[in-house]
Structure 1
Amino acid sequence: MATEIRVPTLGESVTEATIGRWFKAVGDQIAADEPIVELETDKVTVEVPAPAAGTLSEITVKEGETVEVGALLGTIGEGGAAREKAGSTAGKSAEGKADMTSSKVDETRAAGNGRLVEVTVPSAGESVTEAQIGEIYKKAGDTVKADEPILELETDKAAQEIPSPVSGVIRELLVKSGEEVKIGALLARIEEGADAGKPDAAAQAAGPASASTVREAERKTAEIGGEPQIEERRPPAPSAAKLMKEQDLKPSEVAGTGKDGQVLKGDVLAAIEGRGRAAPSEPAEAPKVSRAPSPAEDEAREERVKMTRLRQTIARRLKDAQNTAAMLTTFNEVDMTAVMDLRKKYKDLFEKKHGVKLGFMGFFTKAVCHALKEIPAVNAEIDGTDIIYKNYCHIGVAVGTDRGLVVPVVRDADRMTIAEIEKEIGRLGAAAREGKLSMADMQGGTFTISNGGVYGSLMSTPILNAPQSGILGMHKIQERPMVVGGQIVIRPMMYLALSYDHRIVDGKEAVTFLVRVKEVLEDPERLVLDL
C-alpha cells in the first residue's frame, strides 16, 4: 500500500513553499522519519521526514517548483523486496569497493589503524551539478566525530553542512574555501578510529620509502609557501586575450587577478595604463581627451551573483505586502533618559540574578504589549472580509543574518517578565545566526519589532510582515537639544516609526499606539503599575 508525502502545515501565515532539494531518488530505500525533501518558505527552510518506511516510488514535483500546503510531493511504496534488493546491491557494491582497495585497507589494518573513508560532494538534486566550498571547519590532522560538520557547501538553492561519516582523524583535506566542485568530487579522507597523535595510516602502511617521499613533498610544499604547485594558471579570458594581442602584450606583463591567476580584461586594461606611466623618457604626447569607459570595460569590472532562493522569496513576500496592504507610516520620538538610567542602575544586579544582560528590547517589547491591549486593531489581521483580533501578543523580532532577514517570535510576550523576554530574544537570535530556527520559532506572530538602530539607522519606514497589521521600527539613540520646562537640555532621543495597514488601523489609533509606547518608555514605572 502506497503512503503519500504531502506538504505539511507551515504556519497560519504560510500558504506555499518551494521545493529546495530532494534527498532521495525514485527507487531509494527510506526509513521512517528520515528526511526526504527540503522545503523553503519566506521564513524558514524545513526538512520533511518520511511518514513511513519503504521505497520512494514516485516524485510528483521537481526542485524549484512552488507548491501549496497539502500538495502531493510523492509516494512511498512497500519496501520489503526492494529492501532485500538494495541490501544485496549494497553488499555487492561494498564487496567490489573492498576488492579495488583491498591492499590499502589490509595494510592499514595490519598497521593497527582504521580504514580510510572518502568524503565526497553529495547529490543535491538533478538540477544541481556543482557547488562552492563555503566555510571549512576542520583541517588535516584534526580529530572528528561521526556526524560532526567538516565544511559547508553552497549551491544556488541552499547551503548545507557536510558531516563526517565516521569518527577518526582527517588525513587529507583536498579543497579550499571558495573553490568550485562537481557532484561526486572528493573532499577529504578520514582514517576511521584513529587518534590525532598517531601517524597517517596510508603513509605508515606504504613503508619508509613512501613516507619519506611524502615528507619530501611536504618540505617542498612549505618552501613554496604552503600551497602545492600542481597547476599552471588558467589561460587568459577570451576578451583579455584579444586585447593583449591588439596591444602586443605578453602574458608575463599582465598580473592575473581571476581564479587560479587567470588574466581578465580589467587586468589587461590596468597593465596598459601602467605601461603608459612607466615610460617617462619618451617624448611627451599631446594631452588626450578623456573618454567615458565603454560598456565592455564596465562589464569587465562588474560581478554578477545569483540571488539565493531565500533572498528571492523574501523579495517576493515584501513586494506582495506592499501590493496588498494600504501601508502607511507615522512617527514619534521618545526620550530614553528614564530607561537608560534604570538600565544603568540595575544592569549588574539584573545580569547576576537572571544570567542575561538587560538590554532595550525587553523594555520595548513590554511597552508594545501594553499599547496593543489598548489598541487591539494594531494586533489584528484581515482574513477576506473578516477582522481577526488576537487576544494574545506573539511579538516577532526581526533578526538580520548572512542569508537574509528572519523574524522569530516571542510567544505570549504579554505574560512574560522583562527577564524572560531578554532570555527568549537571546535564544532566538543565536538560533537565527546559526541557522537553527525551528518552524515553531517562526510561526504565529501578531506584531513585529525591527531594530534598525543597531546598524546606525536614524529613521526608516519598515515594511509590514504580512498578514500582520503593524510593525514598530526602533532607531539609533542620539543626543539632541530638547526644550524641557522652558529650558534647553541635551537628551538621548530615539525616533519611533509605526508602519500599519490603513485598511484596519485608523490614523488616530496608530498615533495613540505610538503615544502609549512613548509614555511607558519615558516613565517605566507605568509597566509596574499597569497604567
Structure 2
Amino acid sequence: MTTEVRVPSLGESVTEATVATWFKKPGDSVAEDEMLCELETDKVTVEVPAPAAGVLADIVAEEGQTVGVDALLANIAEAGEAGSTTPEPRPSAEAGSGKAPSEGGAPAGAGDGEAVDVMVPALGESVSEATVSTWFKAVGDAVEADEMLCELETDKVSVEVPAPAAGVLSEILAAEGATVEAGGRLAVLKSGEGAAAKSAETREAASAPAPSGGGGADVEDAPAAKKAMAEAGLSRDQVAGSGRDGRVMKEDVAKAAQGAGAASAKAPAPASEPAQAPRAPVPAEDASREERVKMTRLRQTIARRLKDAQNTAAMLTTYNEVDMKAVMDLRSEYKDLFEKKHGVRLGFMSFFAKACAHALAEVPEVNAEIDGTDIVYKNFVHMGVATGTPQGLVVPVIRDAHAKSFAELEKEMAEKAKRARDGKLSMAEMQGGTFTISNGGVYGSLMSSPILNPPQSGILGMHKIQDRPVVVKGEITIRPMMYLALSYDHRIVDGKGAVTFLVRVKEALEDPRRLLMDL
C-alpha cells in the first residue's frame, strides 16, 4: 500500500510553487510528520511533512519543478513493501544529487552511521519558499544536536535551521543562494557510531576539487551555481567544481569570475564583444570597481509591492503639523511611574496608535479596503507599525489596537520590533493589518510621503520633532512641532475624510485628555 504526498495549501491567492529541496531520496525511511521536501512560492516557503511512516518509494516532482496545489509530489510505501519499490529508483533523483543508488533501498552510509536529513522547517502561513542565505557549517564538520546549521531567508523573515541530531555534516544539498521549498532537503548528517571517524575523510573528499572535464556529464551542478555562471558569462568548462563528484557550487563560480576579471583587466576584451548585462555601457575602469549583489528576497518583495501600490491605488497625500508639547509633558511627568508599574518605557508610538484608532472610528473609510467592486469596512483596527531592519522594512501588526491600553501597546510594539530586527517574526504576525503607521522621524526625516501598504487605504507618516517658532494665542513662541503625512487611496477616501482624519489625530495629540473623554 502506498501513500501519496501532495502539495498542501499554499496560502491565500497562492496557486503554485516550485520544489526547492528534497530532504529525502527514494529508498530512505521516513517517519510520520518528518519533513520530506520544501516548496517555495513568491511569498513563503512551505515544508511538506510525511503523511505516514514508511519508505519513500519515488519522487514525482523533482527539485526546480513548478507544481500546483494538491499536485502529487511523491509516494510513500509501507516499510514491508520497501524492497519492491526501491531497487530501481528514478534516475533523475539520483543523478541530480550525484549519488549512486543505495542497494536494497537502504539509506546511504548506513554502515558508518545513520543518515539524517536536514529539512527546511515550516516558514509560516502562505510562505512556501526561501533562499539559503548562510551556511554556518561546512561538509565534514562535527555538529551538535540543535546547533545552527544554516540560515534561510524568505521575503519577510529569516529562519535558522538547527541540526536534527548530533553527527557530521556529510553533504550540503542546497548551497548558499539556492532556492528551497518548505519540507525540502538541505543537507545530510551522519549520526551514530562511525560518524566521527568519517569526518576527516569526508572533509578531504569535499575539499578536493574534481576534474571539470567531460567526466562530469552526469553530475548536476548546484542551481545557484548555474545561475551565477549565466550572470558571469562563464561556461561550465571554465569553472572547477569543488562539490561532490566535481559538482560546481556557487563559491566556485565566484572564484572563477574573479580570475576572469583579473585576466580581462590585463587584456581588455575586443570592443565587438556583446555586453552581458542589459544596462548602459560602463567604462572598464569603473566596472572593475563595481560590486554586483543579488537583491534579497525581502528587498525584491518590497520593490514589487511598492510598485504595485503605485500602479493600483489612486494615491494622494495630505499634510498637517502637530504641537507635541502636551504629549511630551505628559510623558515626562509619568514615564518613571509608567515604567515602574508596567515594566516598559512610555514612548510616542502608543499615543499615535491611540490617536489614529480614535480618528479611524470617525472616518472608517481610511480603515477600509477595496475588494473588487465592494468596499470592506473594518469594525476593528489591526495597526501595522513599519519597522526598519538590516534586511529591509517589515510591518508587524498589532491586532485590535483600538482595544489595547497604552501599556499593552508599548509592550507589544517593543517586543515585535525586537523580533523584527532579529528576523524572528512569523508571516502571520505581518498579515491582516488595516492601517499602518510609519515613523521616519527616528531617522531624521522632516517631511515625506509614505506609500500605501496594499490592500490598506491609509498610512500615517510621522516625522522628526523639531523646535520651531509658532503663533500661540497671538504670541510667537518656540514649540516642538512634527509634520504629519497621511497617504490615502483616493478611490474610496475623499479629501474631506483624509483632512478630517488628520485633524482628529492632531487634536488628540495636542490635548490627550480628548482620548480619555472620547472626544
TM-score after normalising by structure 2: 0.66
How far off is 1:440 after superposition? 2.8
Question: After the TM superposition, which residues 351-390 of structure 1 pair with which residues of structure 2 at under 5 Å, given as runs?
Answer: 351-390=339-378
Confirm whether residue 501 of structure 1 aligns to residue 502 of structure 2: no
How far off is 1:266 after superposition? 8.1
Q: 1:344 aligns with which of 329, 332, 352?
A: 332
- Aligned pair in 2 of structure 1 residues 135, 449: CA closer, same or farther (>3 Å)? farther
In structure 2, what is the equivalent of residue 395 of structure 1? 383
Which amino acid counterpart does residue 447 of structure 2 have in structure 1?
Answer: M
Q: Is the 8 A contact 2:133 2:177 kept in 1?
A: yes
Deviates more, 1:365-374 or 1:380-389: 380-389
Q: 2:503 aligns with which of 515, 518, 527?
A: 515
Q: Is the 8 A contact 1:29 1:82 kept in 2?
A: no
In structure 1, what is the equivalent of residue 292 of structure 2? 304
- Aligned pair in 2 of structure 1 residues 393, 83: CA closer, same or farther (>3 Å)? farther
How far off is 1:21 after superposition? 2.4
In structure 2, what is the equivalent of residue 134 of structure 1? 134
| Aligned equivalents of 1:98, 1:56: Cα separation in 2 | 18
Q: Is the 8 A contact 1:60 1:72 kept in 2?
A: no
Q: Is the 8 A contact 1:329 1:461 kept in 2?
A: yes
- Aligned pair in 2 of structure 1 residues 388, 191: CA closer, same or farther (>3 Å)? closer
Structure 1 SS opposite 2:306:
helix
Which amino acid counterpart does residue 134 of structure 1 have in structure 2?
Answer: T
In structure 2, what is the equivalent of residue 22 of structure 1? 21
Confirm whether residue 331 of structure 1 aligns to residue 330 of structure 2: no
- Aligned pair in 2 of structure 1 residues 517, 167: CA closer, same or farther (>3 Å)? same
Which of 1 and 2 has greater Rg?
1
- Aligned pair in 2 of structure 1 residues 190, 59: CA closer, same or farther (>3 Å)? closer
Which amino acid counterpart does residue 163 of structure 1 have in structure 2?
Answer: P
C-alpha distance after superposition, 1:385-404 (max 9, x if no partner): 11111111111112222333
Q: Is the 8 A contact 2:24 2:117 kept in 1?
A: no
| Aligned equivalents of 2:297, 2:441: Cα separation in 1 | 27
Structure 2 SS opposite 1:450:
strand
| Aligned equivalents of 1:447, 1:464: Cα separation in 2 | 9
| Aligned equivalents of 1:491, 1:267: Cα separation in 2 | 63
- Aligned pair in 2 of structure 1 residues 155, 352: CA closer, same or farther (>3 Å)? closer
| Aligned equivalents of 1:180, 1:382: Cα separation in 2 | 37
Q: Could you say what the CA RMSD is over the residues aligned between the two structures, in angstroms?
A: 5.1
Structure 2 SS opposite 1:351:
helix
Structure 2 SS opposite 1:492:
strand
Which amino acid counterpart does residue 147 of structure 2 have in structure 1?
Answer: E
Q: Is the 8 A contact 2:117 2:189 kept in 1?
A: no
In structure 1, what is the equivalent of residue 146 of structure 2? 147
How far off is 1:39 after superposition? 4.0
Structure 2 SS opposite 1:22:
strand
Confirm whether residue 8 of structure 1 aligns to residue 9 of structure 2: yes
| Aligned equivalents of 1:389, 1:495: Cα separation in 2 | 28
In structure 1, what is the equivalent of residue 214 of structure 2? none
Deviates more, 1:151-160 or 1:356-365: 151-160
Q: Is the 8 A contact 2:14 2:41 kept in 1?
A: no
| Aligned equivalents of 1:180, 1:469: Cα separation in 2 | 36
How far off is 1:32 after superposition? 4.1
| Aligned equivalents of 2:188, 2:21: Cα separation in 1 | 24
In structure 2, what is the equivalent of residue 79 of structure 1? 77
Structure 1 SS opposite 2:501:
helix
TM-score after normalising by structure 1: 0.64
Deviates more, 1:149-158 or 1:392-401: 149-158
Q: Is the 8 A contact 2:157 2:427 kept in 1?
A: no
- Aligned pair in 2 of structure 1 residues 382, 260: CA closer, same or farther (>3 Å)? closer
| Aligned equivalents of 1:20, 1:489: Cα separation in 2 | 64
Gaps of 5+ in 2: 88-100, 122-130, 181-185, 201-207, 210-231, 234-253, 267-280
| Aligned equivalents of 2:427, 2:65: Cα separation in 1 | 20
How far off is 1:513 after superposition? 0.3
| Aligned equivalents of 2:380, 2:120: Cα separation in 1 | 45
Q: Is the 8 A contact 1:52 1:76 kept in 2?
A: no
Which amino acid counterpart does residue 418 of structure 1 have in structure 2?
Answer: F
| Aligned equivalents of 1:444, 1:95: Cα separation in 2 | 44
| Aligned equivalents of 1:61, 1:174: Cα separation in 2 | 19
Q: Is the 8 A contact 1:46 1:439 kept in 2?
A: no
In structure 2, what is the equivalent of residue 105 of structure 1? none
- Aligned pair in 2 of structure 1 residues 457, 386: CA closer, same or farther (>3 Å)? same
| Aligned equivalents of 2:372, 2:176: Cα separation in 1 | 50
Aligned residue-pair number: 428
Q: Is the 8 A contact 1:29 1:83 kept in 2?
A: no
- Aligned pair in 2 of structure 1 residues 73, 151: CA closer, same or farther (>3 Å)? same
Structure 1 SS opposite 2:333:
helix
| Aligned equivalents of 2:86, 2:67: Cα separation in 1 | 35
How far off is 1:329 after superposition? 0.8
Structure 1 SS opposite 2:450:
coil
How far off is 1:49 after superposition? 4.4
How far off is 1:300 after superposition? 1.3
Q: 1:445 aligns with which of 433, 448, 462?
A: 433
In structure 2, what is the equivalent of residue 455 of structure 1? 443
- Aligned pair in 2 of structure 1 residues 179, 63: CA closer, same or farther (>3 Å)? closer
Structure 2 SS opposite 1:72:
coil
In structure 2, what is the equivalent of residue 482 of structure 1? 470
- Aligned pair in 2 of structure 1 residues 484, 321: CA closer, same or farther (>3 Å)? same
| Aligned equivalents of 2:164, 2:155: Cα separation in 1 | 25
Question: After the TM superposition, which residues 51-200 of structure 1 pair with which residues of structure 2 at under 5 Å, given as runs?
Answer: 55=56, 59=60, 63=64, 71-75=69-73, 77-81=75-79, 84-85=82-83, 97=109, 134=134, 136=136, 145-152=144-151, 161-167=160-166
| Aligned equivalents of 1:368, 1:160: Cα separation in 2 | 33
C-alpha distance after superposition, 1:332-370 (max 9, x if no partner): 111111111111221121111111111111111111100
Q: 2:394 aligns with which of 384, 394, 406?
A: 406
| Aligned equivalents of 2:352, 2:33: Cα separation in 1 | 41
Q: Is the 8 A contact 2:5 2:76 kept in 1?
A: no
C-alpha distance after superposition, 1:453-502 (max 9, x if no partner): 22222221111111111111111222222222222222221111111110
| Aligned equivalents of 1:20, 1:364: Cα separation in 2 | 44
- Aligned pair in 2 of structure 1 residues 318, 75: CA closer, same or farther (>3 Å)? same
